Each structure stands twice: as structure tokens, then as C-alpha cells.
Amino acid sequence: MFFIPTNKFIKWSVSKKLTIVEIGAGTAPISQMLQDRGISCIPIDLFPENHQIILADAQKYEYFPEHFPIIARPCRGEWIQNTAQKALTESGKCLYIINTPNEV
């Protein structure tokens, strides 16, 4: 996992009363960490790895203004672009975090 929410992020999320939508959640590590701190989260994935993750296509999911979509994935491409654009259009915000290795 390459995104670990800081205390500042957690306080900000709580103050804004946002619901985090973890897109491409996998095992939902971000949602787990945030839910443990009292933050509302919706983990979604096209291939959910457990019953706590909602089966959903992020490109078709309905985002609302109170949602804060987060994409923390090591991939790029059309799926990311389409998903981020939909999330931005519907909720007004989207955080895309990518772990890019140093290239020589």
C-alpha cells in the first residue's frame, strides 16, 4: 500500500463530513484505516475480494457532492482517465495517487 492517510488528511475529511470512495479497493486497506478512525468509506471494486467491498464499475458508479473519490493504484490508462473524469464531474473532486518507480 503506498497511500497512508495522515492525521491532517483524516482531520480534514472529518471536518468536511466527506464519505471516502475507495476506487479499485482490492482488499480495501485505505477504507479499513479510515473507518478505524471514524470516517465514512465506500470501498468499490469490479472484482471485490471480500463481502465488505461493493461490486461496482467505477466508470458507471454514481458519485455525489459529499463523496471524495480516491484512486490509489499503480496503473494508468483509459480506465483511470474515464473514472477520474466521471468522479470529478459528479462530485467535484477526485484524488489520484500513483506510485511511480524511479526510472533510470
Q: Per the structure block, which three cell numbers stand in for 102?
A: 524511479
Q: What is the pLDDT of residues 35-82, one digit of tens each?
A: 999 999 999 999 998 888 999 999 999 999 999 999 987 777 898 899
d(Cα 48, Cα 25) in Å, to the nearest integer? 8
CA dihedral 23, 1, 53, 20 (to 10 degrees): -50
Q: Is residue 101 very low, low, confident or very high in pLDDT (cuts 50, 70, 90)?
A: low
pLDDT the model gives residue 100: 63
d(Cα 36, Cα 87) in Å, to the nearest integer? 25
